[in-house]
Amino acid sequence: MSVLVPTSLVDALQALAEHPDATVLAGGTDLMVELNGGHRRASSVVVVNRVPELCTWRHDPVSRTLRLGAGVTYAQIERDPIASLVPGLAEAARTVGSPQIRHAATIGGNVGTCSPAGDGLPVLSALNAEVELVSAEGVRSVPFSSFMVGPKRTLRGPGELISAITVPVVDGWQGYAKVGVRNAMVIATASAAVVADSRRGTVAIALGSVGPTILRCPEAEAHAMEHADFGERRLAPEVVSHCCELVRLASRPIDDHRSTAAYRRHAVGVLAGRLLRRAFPNE
Amino acid sequence: MIDTALSADVRAGRLGHSTLRPDGVAKVQGTFQFSGDLTADGVLWGATLRSPHPYARIVRIDVSGAWKITGVEAVITADDVPGVMTYGLIDQDQPVFASDVVRFVGEPVAAVAANHPDACRRALDAIVVEYEVLQPLTDPEKAVDGSFEAIHPLGNVFRQQRIVRGDQTIEGPIVVEGSYELGMQDQAFLGLEAALAVPDAGGAGVELHVATQWLHEDRKQIAACLGMADEQVRLVLGGVGGAFGAREDISLQVHTCLLALRTSRPVRMAYSRQESFLGHVHRHPCRITMRHHADHDGRLLRVEARFVFDGGAYASTSSAVLVNGITHAQGPYKCDNATVDGWAVRTNNLPCGAMRGFGVVQACFAHEAQMDKLAAAVGLDPLEVRLRNAMETGDRLITGQVVESVAPVARLIRELAAMPLPSEPVGGHDLNPMRLPGGAGRTADVGNVRRGIGWAVSIKNLMYSEGFDDYSTARVRLADGIATVKFATAEVGQGFVTLAGQIARSVLGVDEVVLDQIDTQVGSAGSTSASRQTWMSGGAVDGACRLVRERMFERVATLHGLDPLGLVIEGTEVVDTVSGLRLEVSEATAGIEFDETFEHHHRPTEDLDEFGQGNCHTAFAFAAHRAVVDVDPELGLVKVVEVATVQDIGRALNPLSITGQIEGGIAQGVGLAVMEEIIQLNGHVKNASFTDYLLPTFLDMPDVVIGLVEEPEPQAPLGAKGVGEPPTVSSTPAVVAAIRDAIGKDLTRVPVRPTDIVFG
Ligand SMILES: Cc1cc2nc3c(=O)[nH]c(=O)nc-3n(C[C@H](O)[C@H](O)[C@H](O)COP(=O)(O)OP(=O)(O)OC[C@H]3O[C@@H](n4cnc5c(N)ncnc54)[C@H](O)[C@@H]3O)c2cc1C
């Protein structure tokens, strides 16, 4: 197995161009588990966590966007200054693994794996994040919602690197919650993110672990938006309940050894309801 | 809480003092050598090929492909076993390698040795095994009712045992009944199975370094399979990273020795986590129905119970686990009349055997749920109903055996009830969302949470039962004021290496104690299980030290013209209580060595008769637990806030060590209550990894408050009872009772799953 450790983006892209079947390694918290467990084999590995361009982030106050290099870790995201810019993603970051894992695990790796249980992903979906892909041929940008095409399946082509994730900096409340069978270090059995953009007057709801991809809930979002008072942060209880129902209908969970479809459908509704209540604390 | 008065005025390193583990710093710093770290010059790696099917006939095994892999030095199957083909702790029904039929997913079929783990993996991939897949027996009830063909020549029932005592016709004015179920818990020790076998020149014997619980029993089984005499097989304890019962049975021992003897080279084997889940026995899943008859005051009149233990594919200790379960059906309560039926059966599920609590965990989960039901039915407080029935020394068990042990059940309950409840409100004083149910998932707000309180009390037998003489041996040498202690007691984390030094220092008046290598070059110590080593090996070390002390006193008496009976040890001196003469132990032993060996035996026990009557157990220990939980009923998530416990320990020989046992035992009890379960679907294991077999994390572990009841046990050599198992036995039912209290539902199964809370 050859292991390449480029120290610049140019070198990284060249390495990938030369080894189009190479496996990219960032924090390794997904990849090493798969390699050690024999679920995946790698003929060559390109290590990207020493590429400075991937490990930086930039807040652009004019375009009101935050560009996170793929190599930014959850430990960085859960703290200021990033945390106040994307509190929902910070909240999701805090639910990931343990402190040790969060110091190694990157947002790019979460997007690279693209598991329906990836904790960063519902927030990225609810924020309409853009995934930036770069290769020797050039750069392209894909909305997260189309980037993820199935469980652990994405639009990333051979030789392409995830270079950054760009999200809007939103006024208003955003948050994330996940259900697992223990109080930490657990894979989500159901999760939800809510973003209430008070400037635009929009509500976004995204669900994790209850479908083959991260699911958005257009009906529930529309119903919430129609009735929400963003100034007063007010939402009537019956609107919240109805949104929960619509969220449950939007979910497409399965039975497996971690839980049942019935529980997941129930739980994701409860989560969405609670998040909406946190976004709109007044009845 | 723990630092009892005893330890305050006790000399450092002596009995009663919270002496630190001799291997503690090395373990924390990562320099301790666990058995997985062992290696030798020219070592080969061994690996095991396992069955992918729960039940199948082996049509053909073709190993020729494995030999073509570069680096492969040995490929072995059942054909290469020189001695007996099967092993087992009680019945030898488990094949070293399956040859005709595989009976569980993970059963070994072949093994290889090669110069690199990758070569091993490729060699295993290259072995062709043709299976005729059969329909597995996975429902233990089908083994009980005989509706499934025998899946083993010895049949599908390991043991059936009844207990019939007293008046079989008594019906209570109050009757409560319930059906209970426990899932399969794994011991989940952190140090995976590992061993290093070094063959003697010319294959005359083999030395095996292995993490195990009982060196001599391993040796007996290994030697039989190797076709060797016991003396040809020497075992040395490799560093053990936890055991909890899972290392009582043979796993990789025979395979490693066979490969080493075959290649005439040292061979190391080490399981992966997944392999470990398949490669050792687990806690028995169990279904229990119980009916309690009581009078209007809540006093027990009769207990009826039925137990079915799923032993999985091979016998292991299932028959003993069954007896432990059924003989503890009454719990720590007086009860004169009983009808209990129990089965331990064979299925194509993973084999089950010993795990901390050994059958009593199962019984306690059921009888404690029943005591709460009884309390509700007679309108009493759960503690009051337990106090009214509390067992005392001199009471008879449903086996007819008189409880001669100290039995401070009522005192445990009263002292537990007097402990203050946690002052922390839901979420803690500073409202940390991490402290709410759901923890780091941030699912709950305070308003979503309900608090509950639950109680449970237990009785647990100590040592082995039913006529088994599980003695222990120790050898002590004393010279120049230094004591050297040798024993074969497996140190699996329980702290006997600490205690042995404390005993020697206390009895002999020395400060320096050298612990010799733990191996089979001394008599058996019995197993590190059944909460028995403090009592049994502690008794052996104490006995050997006393013999040495006698010899030293005799010599001092002769030299100084004193009566040896007047001599005592004070600090590091021999003191004559008559003349006041004082002599340092180092002086008294200068240039001379005393060397004594002692075997400690507990008093004999008996088999049960066909009605389950007989003095089958040695001694008992008791514990009481109170759990406080916060539950999010809508999501079914639980945060165990606190577990308080009062435990009957006899005497605190090392308070810190006891705290460790109690906290660890509660962690395992909490795990069984709310998350730990090996999930099998039609014999296939779904979660053989720490991604999905969930153990409590720091956030799941409750605060633990400990009270110790020290009433020295007259039968025990040091007055101390074993403390390892009781914390696991009643902590699980206490947590489940607390969840029931919070949500008002009948939870009858552990682990309690979110779905049970939401939809149950
Ligand atoms: C103990 C433990 C607990 C965990 N807990 C959680 C949890 O609670 N929630 C959660 O969501 N996840 C969890 N994970 C999974 C993991 O930590 C996350 O998915 C993490 O974000 C992966 O990031 P990484 O940098 O480690 O990725 P890696 O493992 O390095 O890579 C993951 C995948 O993405 C690809 N990749 C990485 N970077 C790039 C890039 N720049 N361009 C293209 N492809 C790339 C890799 O090839 C690989 O396929 C846990 C993992 C462990 C071991």
Are both A229 and A109 inside the same structural domain? no
Q: Which residues contact B326 (CB under 8 A, 6 or more apart)?
A: B161, B163, B305, B307, B340, B341, B342, B363, B612
Residue pair B55/B683 in contact by the 8 Å Cβ criterion: yes
Same domain, yes or no, for A220 and A135?
no
CATH number at residue A212: 3.30.390.50
First to last CA, chain B: 39
User: How many C-beta atoms surround the C-beta of residue A283 within 10 A?
Assistant: 11
Give the burial class of B27: count Cβ atoms within 10 A of its Cβ; 0-12 exposed, 13-18 middle, 19 or more buried. Answer: middle
Nearest CA distance, A35 vs chain B (angstrom): 13
> pLDDT tens for residues B58-90?
999 999 999 999 999 999 999 999 999 999 999
Residue of B nearest to A185 (CA): B697
User: What is the rounded CA–CA span in Å between residue A55 and residue A70?
Assistant: 7
Alpha-carbon gap, residue A249 to A259, rounded angstroms = 18
In total, the C-beta contacts within 8 angstroms joining chain A to chain B are 99
Amino acid letter for position A191: S
What is the tens place of the pLDDT at every residue in B718-756? 999 999 999 999 999 999 999 999 999 999 999 999 999
For ligand 1, atom 52, name the residue with the nearest CA: A29
Q: How many CB atoms lie within 10 A of CB B350?
A: 29
Q: What are the helix (H) ranges across A23-140?
A: 31-36, 74-77, 82-85, 87-95, 99-104, 107-113, 121-126
Per the structure, how many domains does chain A have? Answer: 2
pLDDT band at A39 (very low <50, low <70, confident <90, very high): confident
Q: How far apart are CA B16 and CA B8, in angstroms?
A: 9
Count Cβ atoms within 10 A of the Cβ of residue A30 and give its class: 0-12 exposed, 13-18 middle, 19 or more buried: buried
Q: Mean pLDDT throughout A4-21?
A: 94
A262 contact B CB<8A: yes
For position B6, what pLDDT does the model report? 47
Mean pLDDT across the stretch B613-630? 98
State pLDDT tens for residues A202-259: 999 999 999 999 999 999 999 999 999 999 999 999 999 999 999 999 999 999 999 9
Q: What is the CATH number of domain B8-32+471-601?
A: 3.30.365.10
Q: Which of A73, A79, A102, A85 is nearest to A167 (CA)?
A: A85
- Taking CB atoms and an 8 Å cutoff, what residues of chain B touch A189? 754
Averaged pLDDT, B204-217: 98
Decide if A257 and B686 are in contact by the 8 Å CB cutoff.
Answer: yes
**Mean residue pLDDT across chain B:** 97
Residues on chain A touching B680 (C-beta within 8 angstroms): none
Q: Which positions in chain B touch A186 (Cβ < 8 Å)?
A: 441, 694
Beta bridge partners of B461: B620
A183 → closest Cβ in B274, B687, B699: B699
Range with lowest mean pLDDT among A180-184, B232-236, B427-431, B447-451: B427-431
Q: In this complex, do A183 and B686 lie within 8 Å of one another by their Cβ atoms?
A: no
CB contact under 8 A, A183 and B639: yes
Q: State CA A120 to chain mean position distance.
A: 3
Using CA atoms, how far apart are residues B493 and B657, in angstroms rounded to an integer? 10
Residue at B527: amino acid letter: S
Mark whether A129 and A191 lie in a shared domain.
no
The answer to whether B155 touches B343, Cβ cutoff 8 Å, is no
Is residue B303 a contact partner of residue B368, using CB atoms and an 8 Å limit? no
Q: In chain B, which residues have their Cβ closer than 8 Å to the Cβ of A177?
A: 438, 441-443
Backbone φ and ψ of A207, nearest 5°: -120, 140
Tell me, in angstroms, the distance from the centre of ligand 1 to residue A115's CA: 9
Please report the residues numbered 11 through 40 in chain A whose beta carbons come closer than 8 angstroms to any beta carbon of chain B.
33, 37-38
Q: Minimal Cα–Cα distance from B680 to chain A, Å?
A: 9
A15 with A154, same domain? yes
Q: Which of residues 147-186 of A touch B (CB under 8 A)?
A: 175-186
Domain match, A82 and A107 both = yes
Mean pLDDT value across residues A144-164: 96
Q: Where in chain B is the domain with CATH 3.90.1170.50?
A: 35-134+192-240+247-279
Partner residue opposite B442 with nearest CB, options A177, A258, A260: A177
- The CA-CA-CA angle for residues A256, A258, A259, to 5°, reads 75
Which pLDDT tens digit goes with each residue over A48-101? 999 999 999 999 999 999 999 999 999 999 999 999 999 999 999 999 999 999
Burial class (CB in 10 A: 0-12, 13-18, 19+), B273: middle
Count CB atoms within 10 A of the CB of residue B285.
24
> Looking at chain B from residue 409 to 428, which residues have their Cβ under 8 Å from any Cβ of chain A?
none
Q: For residue B570, give every residue at least 6 positions away whose Cβ sits within 8 Å of its Cβ, in sequence order, or none.
A: B509, B582
C-alpha A266 to ligand 1 mean position (Å): 28
Residues 76-135 of A with CB under 8 A from B: 91, 94-95, 98
Distance CA B614, CA B606 (A): 6
* Helix locations, B301-400, DSSP H: 318-327, 360-378, 382-389
What is the arithmetic mean of pLDDT over B124-134? 98
Place of tokens 């329980």: B494
B239: closest CA of chain A, how far (Å): 24
Please tell me the residue having the least CA distance from ligand 1 atom 38. A109
Do the chains contact at A182 and B448, CB–CB below 8 Å? no
Residue B7 has pLDDT above 60, yes or no: no
Tokens 């993996």 belong to residue: B121
Integer Cα distance of B654 and A160 in angstroms: 61
Neighbours of B429 (CB within 10 A): 9
Gap from CA of B618 to ligand 1 centroid (Å): 53
> What residue's CA is closest to ligand 1, atom 32?
A109
The pLDDT value given to residue B428: 87
A41 touches B: beta carbon within 8 Å: no
H, E, C per residue of B459-505? EEEECCCCCCCCCEEEEEEEECCEEEEEECECCCCCCHHHHHHHHHH
What's the average model confidence in pLDDT over A170-177? 98
Residue of B nearest to A265 (CA): B635
Instruction: Find the helix or strand (DSSP H, E) in which A280 lies.
Output: none
B441 touches B565 (CB < 8 A): no
Q: What is the pairing mode between strands B573-576 and B567-570?
A: antiparallel
Task: State residue B10's pLDDT score.
Answer: 87
Domain termination site, one of A168, A191, A209: A168
Number of Cβ within a 10 Å radius of residue B220: 15
Instruction: Kindly write down the DSSP assignment for every residue of B656-672, as one continuous string.
Output: HHHHHHHHHHHHHHHHH
| Owning domain of residue A260 | 174-279
- Do B721 and B713 meet the contact criterion of CB atoms below 8 Å apart? yes
Bridge partners for B94 per DSSP: B87
Query: A112 C-alpha to center of ligand 1: Å?
Result: 7
**A8 and A143 housed in the same domain:** yes
Whether residue B4 is predicted with pLDDT greater than 90 in this model: the reply is: no
Last residue of a domain, one of A168, A187, A215: A168
Q: Is pLDDT above 80 for B285?
A: yes
As for ligand 1, residues whose beta carbon falls within 6 Å of it are A 23-31, 33, 48, 70, 96-97, 101, 104-106, 108-110, 112-113, 118-119, 161-162, 185
Q: Name which residue sits closest to atom 18 of ligand 1, judged by CA.
A: A110
All residues at 6 or more sequence positions from B269 whose CB lies less than 8 Å from its CB, including other chains: B45, B46, B47, B48, B193, B194, B195, B252, B255, B256, B259
| Phi and psi angles of residue B89, each rounded to the nearest 5 degrees, phi first | -75, -40
A65-76 burial code (b ≥16 CB/10 A, e <16): bbbbbbbbbbbb
pLDDT confidence of residue A36: 87
Q: Cβ of B692 and A257 within 8 Å?
A: yes
Mean pLDDT in residue range B334-341:
98
CA separation for the pair B396, B387 (Å, rounded) = 17
From A28's Cα to the closest Cα of chain B, the distance in A is 16
Using an 8 Å CB-CB cutoff, list chain A residues near B692. 187, 257-258
Tokens of A271: 């989560």
Nearest chain A residue to B702 by CA: give it.
Answer: A183
Cis peptide bond N-terminal to A168, omega within 30: no
Smallest Cβ–Cβ distance between B634 and the set A98, A187, A270 belongs to A270
Element (H, E) at B86: strand B86-87
Q: What is the CATH number of the domain that holds A21?
A: 3.30.465.10
Would you say residue B214 has pLDDT above 50? yes
Query: What tens digit of pLDDT does each residue of B8-47 get?
Result: 568 999 999 999 999 999 999 999 999 999 999 999 999 9
pTM strictly above 0.90:
yes
Share of chain B above pLDDT 70, in %: 99
Among B439, B111, B436, smallest CA distance to B270 is for B111
- Residue B370 to residues B65, B290, B528, Cα–Cα distance (Å): 58, 8, 32
Question: Which residue ranges does chain B devote to CATH 3.30.365.10?
Answer: 8-32+471-601, 286-465+607-759
A178 and A263 both lie in a single domain:
yes
Across the range B309-334, mean pLDDT stands at 98
Question: Residue B8's pLDDT is what?
Answer: 53
Q: Nearest CA to CA, how far is A30 from chain B (Å)? A: 12
Choice from A16, A110, A181, A189 to test ligand 1 binding pocket (greatest atom count within 8 A of CB)? A110
Tell me what the pLDDT averaged over chain A comes to: 96
Q: Residue range B499-512: average pLDDT?
A: 98
pLDDT of residue A37: 82
Q: Are residues A155 and A180 both part of a single domain?
A: no
Q: How far is B342 from chain A (nearest CA, A)?
A: 30
Picking from B441, B675, B699, the nearest residue to A179 by CB comes out as B441
Fold of B35-134+192-240+247-279: Aldehyde Oxidoreductase; domain 3 (3.90.1170)
Confidence check: pLDDT of B376 > 90:
yes
Interval B435-467: pLDDT, tens: 999 999 999 999 999 999 999 999 999 999 999
Residues 6 or more apart in contact with residue A238 via CB below 8 angstroms: none
Best A89, A113, A182 residue to mutate vs chain B (most B CBs within 10 Å):
A182
What's the rounded Cα separation, in Å, for the pair B742 and B740?
5
Q: How many CB atoms lie within 10 A of CB B170?
A: 11
Q: Is the pLDDT of residue B717 over 70?
A: yes
Angstrom distance (rounded) from CA B253 to CA B213:
12
Q: Is the pLDDT of residue B5 over 60?
A: no
Joined together, the tokens standing for residue A15 give 């390495």
Chain B, 616 to 645: residues with Cβ < 8 Å from chain A are: 634-637, 639
- Say whether B448 and A274 touch across the interface (CB within 8 A): yes
Which architecture, in CATH terms, is B286-465+607-759? 2-Layer Sandwich (3.30)
Tokens read off for B739: 């969840």
Nearest to B625 by CA among B733, B541, B518: B733
Q: Whose CA is nearest to atom 9 of ligand 1?
A: A96
- In testing the pocket of ligand 1, which one of A40, A45, A96 has its CB within 8 Å of the most ligand atoms? A96
By the 10 Å C-beta count (0-12 exposed, 13-18 middle, 19+ buried), A6 is classed as middle
Tokens of B471: 């003695």
Helix (H, G, I), strand (E, B) or coil at B451: strand
Q: Which of A38, A91, A185 sits opposite B442 (nearest CB)?
A: A91
- Tell me which DSSP letter residue A57 carries: E
